[in-house]
Amino acid sequence: MIRHMRKKGIALGVILISLLILSLVIIYYRSTVETGNEAKVEESQAESESESEKEDYTESQSEAGREDSSEISQESTKESESVSKPVAAEAYDKVVYLTFDDGPGPYTADLLDLLDKYNVKATFFVTRQYSNYENLIAEEYKRGHTVAVHTYSHSYGYIYQSVDNYYEDLMAMSDVVERQTGQKPSIVRFPGGSSNTISRNYCQGIMSTLSNKVGEWGYRYCDWNVSSGDGSNQTSTDQVYENVTTGISKHKVSIVLQHDTNEKSMAAVEDILKWGIANGYTFLPMDDNTEMMHHKVAN
């Protein structure tokens, strides 16, 4: 009888001990799974944070290029807010709009790389004179420059013969730009500027008519106040540099005319950029808020 009871007691003890061990195992197992999950959650949070930090970093680097990386996550929100608004020229002391006419052509790709190197945005008044380079219009747009219309043909004898001819040519180039950029252009520049007198040879008074008409058609036209003198292939690189820097020095807001179809002129751009940056000028691309510059119409 006593033996029987002892046996029972041992069995009960074994069962209790096993239960205890089992519950300890369960508690241990549950706690490891929970910490594991927590660790995973933390990991993925850290990942997404570092990803957004990376994005902030790229953004503020490209926009300012001067932030200390420890300040980046705080600064970036402020900066992207101010950058997304259109930049008005009045916000700066000395502003330069670099404008390049007649391209795209054989020197345009190098010019785009150069502008990237100095993080400068410009405005291109494009034509379709060099049809092999048409796809560079998309590239100009993609790299943040403004694409505006010069003409399709750049043929004075055709476009200044009649309002209809000019309109037909303008629409043709506007279509090319829209096809390349996905955007309808809104700024134009007349070949020779609005003050050109060559047009008198083809149609009396046409510039007076066209300078009003483009507005009715939904465009704004823009001349310049600093000429590089590169309309002639005789102008040397040094002379282009001289003309542009002297011209810019005289104005609070400069609209510089150069041609990205002129190799000698393009060779002056890097020194012009260096000079402008060293002297505190801000280079801007034209936008809907840019005040247009108009010459005195002379035909």
Q: Which C-beta is closer to Zn ion: that of 102 or that of 260?
A: 102
Whether the CB-CB separation of 273 and 281 falls below 8 Å is answered with no
- How near is the Cβ of 50 to Zn ion at its closest, in Å? 50
Q: Is 169 in the site for Zn ion (CB under 5 A)?
A: no
Q: Which amino acid is at 231?
A: G
Q: Which C-beta is closer to Zn ion: that of 89 or that of 154?
A: 154
The values of phi and psi at residue 126, to 5°, are: -95, 155
Q: Which C-beta is closer to Zn ion: that of 125 or that of 241?
A: 125
- How near is the Cβ of 105 to Zn ion at its closest, in Å? 12
Q: Which C-beta is closer to Zn ion: that of 56 or that of 230?
A: 230
Q: Which C-beta is closer to Zn ion: that of 89 or that of 206?
A: 206
Q: Is 191 in the site for Zn ion (CB under 5 A)?
A: yes
Compose the 85-114 pattern: x for residues touching Zn ion by CB under 5 A, - for all others.
----------------xx------------
- How near is the Cβ of 282 to Zn ion at its closest, in Å? 26
Compose the 13-52 pattern: x for residues touching Zn ion by CB under 5 A, - for all others.
----------------------------------------
Beta-strand runs (E) in 59-199: 95-101, 123-126, 146-149, 187-188
Radius of gyration of the chain (CA): 34
Helix (H, G, I), strand (E, B) or coil at 231: coil
- How near is the Cβ of 181 to Zn ion at its closest, in Å? 20
Whether the CB-CB separation of 254 and 283 falls below 8 Å is answered with no
Q: Is 230 in the site for Zn ion (CB under 5 A)?
A: no
Q: Can you read off the two tokens belonging to residue 95?
A: 């502003």
Q: Mark the segment that binds Zn ion (CB under 5 A) among 129-137, 157-165, 187-195, 277-285.
A: 187-195
- How near is the Cβ of 101 to Zn ion at its closest, in Å? 4
Contacts of 261 (CB under 8 A, 6+ apart): 101, 102, 103, 105, 106, 107, 129, 130
- How near is the Cβ of 131 to Zn ion at its closest, in Å? 16
**How far, in whole angstroms, is CA 260 from its chain's centroid?**
18
Handedness of CA 291, 292, 296, 299 (dihedral sign): negative
The values of phi and psi at residue 12, to 5°, are: -60, -45
- How near is the Cβ of 88 to Zn ion at its closest, in Å? 28
Cα–Cα distance measured from residue 60 to residue 76, given in angstroms and rounded to the nearest whole number: 6
Count of residues touching Zn ion (by CB under 5 A): 3
The values of phi and psi at residue 176, to 5°, are: -60, -45
Q: Which C-beta is closer to Zn ion: that of 101 or that of 169?
A: 101
The residues of the shown chain that bind Zn ion, judged by CB under 5 A, are 101-102, 191
